[in-house]
Structure 1
Amino acid sequence: MGLAYETKREDDSLESQYHKGVLHLCETGITKIPNKYIFPIEDRLRNTLGEEQTAECVGLELPVIDFAELQGSKRSQVLKSLSKACEEYGFFQVINHGILHDDLANMIDVAKEFFELPFEEREKYMSLDLHSPVRYGTSFSQNSDKTFCWRDLLKLTCHPLSDMLPFWPSSPVKLR
């Protein structure tokens, strides 16, 4: 059974819980989606008839950036495509990046381990400071975002790695 929507009164009682993340909300046994996570109707993707649409319906395609072409004569074109993807979509797929499949799979496994840690462990890395070298939360800017995405995030600053690594979570050990 899917989650229903929160009423205004119920939603207000959960307000202090939003900053703790989606996983924490689920762990507390919520049965309804808090209004903080529901985009206003006017902000949702719609067709000309006013019906809500999916990306497939409007023909949106995920931009694909081929990093191998950064080394060749198409470098300028690839950089323009990358810039456009960032500005117009906010995300994209990178191919031919040189990261081994096993390394990617291990990284995903370790990330899952982090999100499976008890809330008290994940909570250590919560910060409203956008420039914090490590941030765990549900929104990039919890102070200004009117609507949160239904997700949790872990941001790890990597450059320069030798300076940032001491701030990274000590658990799970393989994260370092």
Structure 2
Amino acid sequence: MAARTPLLCQDPPATPAITCVKKLAESPNLNSIPSNYAYYTNPTETTASDPDDPIPTVDLSLLTSDDADQKSKAIQELGRACQEWGFFMVVNHGIPEALMKAMLEAIDEFFNLPEEEKPEFQPKNVLEPIRYGTSFNTAKEKVFFWRDFLKVYVHPAFHCPDKPQSLRE
């Protein structure tokens, strides 16, 4: 019996360059994962936390509290979330729900722009104030992250893509 070559994690010969996860996910004829998106871990190494542990929540109002004990406890919880999880959910931040919704809608508009409009936001320098991409430095990395991102600096100077207009607003 002839050996079969697995499809997973091999670059298809006639696939155009995949520049973002969204494009990868929407590829109609994709029958394998491009090798630059295949990440292998040591199967004997476990990094998973208890699935019943909730994502850490940081109450931002406690970080600015006048009560020193509350503030100290909040800082410790923030430190633990960063060390043990690497991320956290923020509550009581004071950002209006309507503004958060409008921002998510504008970001969705950005990621749904035609692919030919996005390269201007993929600068060579990773320190640019506006940067769109799928990984930190695709020119040097062999494996890309399973995410697309848009980074903008808004302080001390406001930087934002000029499209879609709703994002700038």
Q: TM-score scaled by structure 2?
A: 0.77
Is 1:23 aligned to 2:22, yes or no?
yes
Q: 1:7 to 1:89 in 2, by over 3 A?
A: closer
Is 1:96 aligned to 2:56, yes or no?
no
Equivalent pairs: percent with the same residue? 31
Further displaced range: 27-36 or 60-69: 27-36
Counterpart of 1:32 in structure 2 is 32
Q: RMSD between aligned alpha carbons?
A: 2.9
Going by fraction, where is helix more abundant, 1 or 2? 1
Q: TM-score scaled by structure 1?
A: 0.74
Contact 1:5/1:34, CA 8 A, preserved across alignment: no
Is 1:150 aligned to 2:146, yes or no?
yes
Further displaced range: 126-135 or 25-34: 25-34
The C-alpha deviation readout for 1:5-24, integer Å capped at 9, x for no partner, is 545353x776x835x21123
Trace 1:78-157 onto structure 2 (pairs within 5 A): 78-157=74-153
Letter in 1 for 2:58: I
1:155, CA displacement in angstroms? 0.7
Q: 1:87 to 1:141 in 2, by over 3 A?
A: farther
Runs of at least 5 residues in structure 2 that lack an aligned partner in the other structure: 1-5
Letter in 1 for 2:147: R
Counterpart of 2:10 in structure 1 is 8
Computing the radius of gyration from Cα coordinates, the structure with the larger value is 2
Contact 2:57/2:88, CA 8 A, preserved across alignment: yes
- Equivalent-residue separation in structure 1 for 2:27 and 2:58 (angstroms): 40
Give the match's secondary structure for 1:149. coil
- Equivalent-residue separation in structure 2 for 1:78 and 1:175 (angstroms): 32
